[in-house]
Structure 1
Amino acid sequence: MTERRIILEMGTGNDLYGGDYTKAACRAVQDALHHSSIVLFKSLGYDHREMRVQVTIGVQEPDRVDVDVVTAELPRGRADVNVVHGGLNVHDPDNDTTHVIATAAIAALLPIDPAQWRLSTGGGA
C-alpha cells in the first residue's frame, strides 16, 4: 500500500512583541488547520489515526522552536514536525523589538491502495 498526500495546507503566524518563535510557529499551524476540513475520513470510512501528518515550519531561528509544543497543536494523525530556516524577522529599531513571522506547511498522508480507486467514465447524478 502506498502512502499518498491527500491534502496540503499553508499558514502564517506571528509573535509581534515577544520574539517567541514557538508561539509564532503554533499560530502558523493553527492558521493552516483553519483552512482545511478533511471530510473524507467520515465520508469514506477512514480512521483519522491512519493519517500521517508532515509539518514543516519556517522561521529565522529554527533552534528556538519547541517542536513538542507545536506537535501538541495537531488534533489528528501521527505528526512529524520539522523546523527549517525560513519565515521572516522584522526588526523595529525605534522600539528595539523583533516581529517574528513563521510559515507552516501541513501535509496529510494516508496509506492508499491505488488499485482500489478508479476514475468514473460515466456521468450524471
Structure 2
Amino acid sequence: MAKKRFIVELGYGADLHGGDVTKAAQRAVRDAVSRNCLCGLIDIIGIDDPHKMHVAVKIGCPKPDQVDAAKVLEVLPFGSREIEIVAGGLSVRGLELPQLGAGDQICVAVAALTVSVDVE
C-alpha cells in the first residue's frame, strides 16, 4: 500500500513571554488541528480507526534545536507521527512580566500538518 496525502493544514502559535519555542510549536500544532474535521477519512476513504492515519509535522521556528519534539507530537490526538523542525518563524522583543515567563522575547512558530493514509 502507498501513503496518499489527504490534507495539509497550517497553524500559528506564539509564546508571548519568555520565548519558549516548544510552547509556541505546540500552540501552532493545536491551531492546525483545530482548523479541520477529518470526517472524510471515515466517510470517503473508509478507514475504521483514526490511528491508521499518519501525520507529518513540519515546524518553522527560531532556535529549532531547542524544540522538544516529543512534547510537540504529544499534541496530536491520533495517528502515527513524524516531525521535522526547521529555522523559521519569528522572534521579537515584547514585554517582560516575570509572573508570565522569563524574558521579554515573543517567539512565533508555524506548523504544517500533512495527514496521509494508506490506500490500495
Superposed pair shares fold, TM > 0.5: yes
Q: Which runs of 4+ in 1 moved over 2 A?
A: none
Q: TM-score, normalised by structure 1?
A: 0.83
1:57 matches 2:59:
yes
The CA deviation at 1:41 is 3.0
User: Residue deviations 1:46-94, cap 9 Å, x none?
Assistant: 02222111000111100111011001000010010111101110124x8
- Name the aligned partner's letter for residue 22 of structure 1: T
What's 2:46 paired with?
Answer: 45
Question: What is the DSSP-based 3-state SS (H/G/I as helix, E as strand, rest coil) of the residue aligned with 1:41?
Answer: helix
Distance across 1 between alignment mates of 2:52 and 2:23: 28
Q: In the aligned structure 1, how far is the partner of 2:88 from the partner of 2:119?
A: 32
User: Matches of residues 63-102 of structure 1 in structure 2 within 5 Å?
Assistant: 63-92=65-94, 97-102=104-109
Task: Name 2:113's counterpart in structure 1.
Answer: 106
Q: Percent identity?
A: 38
Match of 1:17, SS state, is: coil
Q: Write the letter of the residue equivalent to 1:45.
A: G
Q: Report the Cα distance in structure 2 between the residues aligned to 1:7 and 1:41, rounded to whole angstroms.
A: 10
1:107 maps to a residue whose letter is T
Q: Secondary structure at the match of 2:32?
A: helix
The amino acid of 1:36's aligned partner reads N
5+ residue gaps, structure 1, are: 114-125
Aligned length: 112
Measured on the aligned residues, the alpha-carbon RMSD in Å equals 1.5
Tell me what 2:5 maps to.
5
Partner SS state of residue 35, structure 1: coil
